[in-house]
Amino acid sequence: MIDPDALLDWYEHAQRDLPWRRPGVSAWQILVSEFMLQQTPVARVEPIWLDWIARWPTPSATAAAGPADILRAWGKLGYPRRAKRLHECATVIATDHDDTVPDDVETLLTLPGIGTYTARAVACFAYRQRVPVVDTNVRRVVARAVHGLADAGSPSSRDLGDVETLLPADDTAPRFSVALMEFGATVCTARAPRCGVCPLQRCGWRARGFPAGTGPARRAQKYAGTDRQARGRLLDVLRGSDSPVTRAELDVAWTTDTAQRDRALDSLLVDGLVEQTADGRFALCGEAGS
C-alpha cells in the first residue's frame, strides 16, 4: 500500500517543471517525449524535444519529413532506431488514425515502436486513463515501499497487476501514476534514496531496517569503446554531411578497432539508418540518391 494522499501532496509541490507535462501539450507530443525518454536522461531530451515539436507538431508533419532530417534532429539522443520507429509511428497515425493518437492501450500497442510501457504512458498521461504505468523507477518504489525489498529484480508479468492494485479507484489515478514515477526518479532513487525527506509514512524496506538486496550488484553502463559509441561516431559523420561520404571518411571516425567499426557500419545498414549509393559511398537513409 502506498498512501495516495501523501504521494499526491508531495507531487503537488515537488514535481519538476517538464515541458511535456505543461497544459496544451498534445497526445502526439507526449508520445514523442516518451520515445525520447527511453534510456535517456531528461536534461538531454528537453532541448531536442522542444525543437522537435516546434518543427513537427503533429504526426502528419513528422511523417512528411525525410528520414534523414529525422535522424539529424534526433541528434545525439542515442539509440537512433527509436527515431526511425517514431517516424514509422507518425506515418501510421497520420494515414490510419486520422492524424490522432489512439487513446486505448490495445490500439496503441499495434503502432510501430510502442510497447507495454509506452502504450500505457500515453493512455495515462495524454488521455488521463486509469492504467498502470510501470517503468524501472516505479518497480523499484513498489519493491521497497510495498514488498520491503532493496531492488525490484527482473521485470515480470506480475508487475502490471502489482501496480494496478495501488492505483486509487477515483479520477486521481492518472496523477498518482505520474507522481509514483516522479517519486522514483527524484526521491526513491536507485543509488541514493532520500529516505530522510520521504513523504511516505509506511515503507516496508525501511521498516525491515533496509536489508541488502540479493540480486547481482548494479554495474554502471559503459559507453566508451562500445559498438554503440562506434555507431554514434559513424552517424555523426553522416549527419554532418549534406552529400554521401566515402568509406575512408567513415573509417577515420573510428580507428581504434577496425573490426568493431565494420560491425557498427554493417549494423547501421541492416537497421536501415544508413544506405549505400550505387558508387559505394554512404549516406543517411533516404539520401543515397543525392
The answer to whether the beta carbons of residues 229 and 167 sit under 8 Å apart is no
Q: Residue 233, class by beta-carbon neighbours within 10 Å (0-12 exposed, 13-18 middle, 19+ buried)?
A: middle
Give the integer Cα–Cα distance in Å for 36 and 55: 16
| Long-range pairs for 74-78: beta carbons < 8 A, 24 or more residues apart | 74/48, 75/48, 75/239, 76/44, 76/232, 76/236, 77/36, 77/40, 77/44, 77/45, 77/48, 78/39, 78/40, 78/228, 78/232
Which residue, 102 or 193, has its beta carbon nearer to ligand SF4? Answer: 193
Instruction: Give whichever of 182 and 287 is closer to ligand SF4, judged by the CB atom.
Output: 182
Nearer to ligand SF4, 74 or 205 (CB): 205
> Which is nearer to ligand SF4, 78 or 204 (by Cβ)?
204
Q: How far is the CB of 152 from ligand SF4 (least distance, A)?
A: 12
Task: Tell me the C-alpha to C-alpha distance, in Å, between residue 94 and each of 3, 47, 89.
Answer: 41, 25, 9
Residues making contact with ligand SF4 (CB under 6 A): 144-145, 187-188, 193-195, 198, 200, 203, 205-206
Nearest in space to 105 (alpha carbons), one of 142, 130, 86: 130
Q: What is the closest distance, in whole angstroms, from the C-beta atom of residue 183 to ligand SF4 in the complex?
A: 8
Q: Which amino acid is at 24?
A: G
Reading the block at residue 228, the C-alpha cell is: 554503440
Helices (H), 97-157: 105-108, 116-125, 136-141
In the complex, what is the shortest distance from the CB of residue 3 to ligand SF4, in angstroms, rounded to a whole number? 11
Three-state DSSP state, 74: helix
Residue count (the chain): 290
Query: CB-wise, 74 or 183, nearer to ligand SF4?
Result: 183
- Quote the CA–CA distance of 207 and 9 in Å, as a whole number: 22
Nearest Cα to 250, choosing from 267, 271, 236, 270?
Answer: 236
34 in active site: yes
Minimum CB separation of residue 145 from ligand SF4 in Å reads 4
Least distance to ligand SF4 from the beta carbon of 134, Å?
16
From 34, 182, 275, 287, the catalytic residue: 34
In whole angstroms, how close is the CB of 15 to ligand SF4 at the nearest point?
A: 16
Q: Choose between 90 and 200: whose C-beta lies nearer to ligand SF4.
A: 200
Active site residues: 34
